[in-house]
Structure 1
Amino acid sequence: MKPLLSARRTELLAAGAATITVLLWASAFVSIRSAGEAYAPGALALGRLLAGVLVLGVICLIRREGFPPRAAWPGIVVSGLLWFGLYMVVLNWGEQKVDAGTAALVVNVGPLIMALLAGWLLKEGLPPRLLAGMAVSFAGAAVVGLSMSGEGSASVLGVLLCLLAAVAYAGGVVAQKPALRHGSALQVTTFGCAIGAVACLPFAGQLVSDAADAPLSATLNMLYLGVFPTALAFTTWAFALARTTAGKMGATTYAVPALVVLMSWVALDEVPGWITLVGGLVCLAGVAVSRSRPRTAVAAAEVGDAAAVGGPVAAAPETSPEPQREQA
């Protein structure tokens, strides 16, 4: 029974890490909106990444993580450029051109692209439950996005920027997955964040200029983005990604729009309409479907684990399963 218990423990830890990531990424939308009023897109991305690198670097020194193995660097570099660099800049820029609802709708194309790329490049396949769950979640995200969108507030440039952010996000995750086979979650996150910060250094002058004029609340929001939705959330994401498929992790992020609605309701007193609430519930239902396993697969896994522990003796007769399970 130990391998079965170990597998369940790993699954629970991965689910817990993914939950932390989703909660913190949802909170990031509120902070981005506040900080984005005082900081330009590139400056905000650089400030966020520098704060994240500082925190992650200190943790790496304390834990004596060191540099990642050579085999992990290709994935770290690609994910750093695409996800930590390009994604953050174009998303900040896109949200200045379109309303939050439209941005959320377009960016949520990312998990679909991620599942397709992971199925093709990482040979993860496309399980029917994953595809069904993603379809349900995308429908929910569309309802949330359309219900929150304002009339005439979208622009073609803004939509294209959000679409580019979705592609960068998907490509970064797929590139990060192989790197986690060789480096730890902390190493991959730290050095990916550092590469993203280096890529954003051309915005350093703008960051200094904006920081001089920005209100304290905007700067605190930028630091919050670096410490929690970046340093902590990207690390918990990498931890969970190393223990599950990229497709399932992408599907999990469909819970973000629903959580953003709830957080805006509590923190900003923005009362959502009933259509928005229904869309949020549909998003969560789709996530549940995508992360579930058929009963036959669960039963087969349990039998396989029991056989691995007890050998032929672990194959209990149908008339007395409980005593045999206790012996195993």
Structure 2
Amino acid sequence: MTEAPAAARPGEWAALGAAGVTVLLWASAFVSIRSAGSAYSPGALALGRLLAGSVILGLVALVRREGLPPRAAWPGIACSGVLWFGGYMVVLNWGEREVDAGTAAMVVNVGPLLIALLSSRLLGERMPRALAAGMAVSFAGAVVVGLSTSDGGGASLLGVLLCLLAAVSYAGGVVAQKPALRHASALQVTLFGCLTGTLGCLPFCGQLASEAAGAPASATLNMVYLGVFPTAVAFTTWAFALARTTAGRMGATTYVVPALVVAMSWLALDEIPGWLTLAGGALCLAGVAVSRGGSRPRGPAAPAPGAPAPASGATG
């Protein structure tokens, strides 16, 4: 009875490390999107990002000799590919053109709350008090960051609705991806989800070609960066971690992103944050720390001793 937690601890640390890589790279994406989004329309930027990510993931899969995912994994892969890799990226790119970054951050951060609710309802995951309390603290911090960085010019209703749709797509994609990871590796789930999103964005192929011809090199390089690191690497490390913990707890870790964006903007863009922004970032970090404390939530049952464990990828 006392050996299970100790045996699970290395896996927990591996999942935590992978989640750390994910949130760091996803935070860096906000800085890159500012550059790439000035030259590329929302659909073209999403398609270019997904193409770059698919190429890298495909090469890694060839080297690792990863085959096709089992049939049981395809419903979750297809659903997460359409909702998260495709829909989320296009809608978020569009929404951030309509509202300032602060408003977008506040609305999109509804996503982890939706993940916790959906995973509780659809996946049977418990929501421990520590997780609920930590998410409440982190969401309050995200609101503070959003208010402090808002330009005060009044948010577009269309932009708010688009960001809310992005949050719903993100939550639905995560919850759909979780069952697929019981049957396929993190690399397989990420690669074929990315390919599904790419297929869904092919109608923007003409826009991408015409805009790439006149885009500055910096914007194109940022688009490629988005595909290689925040997509290929970060989505695979996310899947690796998600396979080893609950969807609700993984969603809560993304509340680190607003705090990291504040720090990165400070270092890379010389955007000095105010005290209110710093306080909001500290709340985000404190909430994540609280959400990972307390008793460990009971997710799906662990495989029996001797049963084959699901394979896992090494990128994100």
Task: Provide TM-score, normalisation by structure 2.
Answer: 0.92
Is structure 2 residue 187 aligned with structure 1 residue 186? yes
Seq. identity, %: 74
Matches of 1:66 and 1:135 in 2, distance apart? 41
1:109 is matched with 110
1:259 alignment counterpart: 260
- 3-state SS of 1:96 partner: helix
- Partner of 1:6 in structure 2? 7
Give the Cα–Cα distance (whole angstroms) in 2 for the partners of residues 99 and 223 of structure 1.
24
Take 1:111 and 1:3, find their aligned partners in 2: how far apart are those partners? 28
Please give the residue correspondences for 1:1-328 in structure 2 after superposition, counting only pairs within 5 Å.
Answer: 4-294=5-295
The whole-number CA distance in structure 2 between the counterparts of 1:39 and 1:62 is 32
Q: Distance in 2 between matches of 1:125 and 1:249?
A: 13
- Paired positions, count: 297
Structure 1 residues 50-106: Cα deviation after superposition (integer angstroms, max 9, x where no partner): 000000000000000110000000000000000000000000000000000000000
For residues 116-171 of structure 1, what are the alpha-carbon distances to aligned partners after superposition, in whole Å with 9 as ceiling and x for unaligned? 00000000022111110000000000000000001215200000000000000000
Does the residue aligned with 1:37 lie in a helix, a strand or coil?
coil
| Equivalent position amino acid for 2:215 in 1 | A
Instruction: Determine the C-alpha separation between the residues in 2 that align with 1:135 and 1:4.
Output: 27
Q: In the aligned structure 2, how far is the partner of 1:265 from the partner of 1:153?
A: 24
Give the CA RMSD over aligned residues: 1.4
Q: Which amino acid aligns with 1:31?
A: S
Distance 1:21 1:96 in 2: 24
Query: 2:308 — aligned with what?
Result: none
Deviation at 1:293, TM superposition (A): 2.2
What per-residue deviation string (whole Å, max 9, x for no partner) do you get for residues 178-235 of structure 1?
0000000000000000000000000000000110000000000000000000000000
Residue type of the partner of 2:187? L
The one-letter amino acid of 1:52's match is G
The amino acid across from 1:158 in the alignment is G
- Aligned structure 1 segments of 4 or more residues deviating by more than 6 angstroms: none
Residue 311 of structure 2: aligned partner: none
Q: Secondary structure at the match of 1:151?
A: coil
Partner secondary structure for residue 47 of structure 1? helix
Q: Distance in 1 between matches of 2:217 and 2:188?
A: 32
**Structure 1 partner of 2:312:** none
SS for the counterpart of 2:239 is: helix
The amino acid that maps onto 1:44 is L
Shift in Å at residue 6 of structure 1? 3.2
Q: Which has the larger radius of gyration?
A: 1
* Residues 178 and 228 (structure 1), Cα distance of their counterparts in 2 relative to 1, 3 Å cut: same
Shift of 1:4: 4.6
Distance across 2 between alignment mates of 1:115 and 1:34: 32
Deviations 1:247-279 (A, max 9, x none): 000000001001000000000000000000000
What secondary structure does 2:98 align onto? coil
Which stretches in structure 1 are left out of the alignment for 5+ residues? 299-307, 309-328
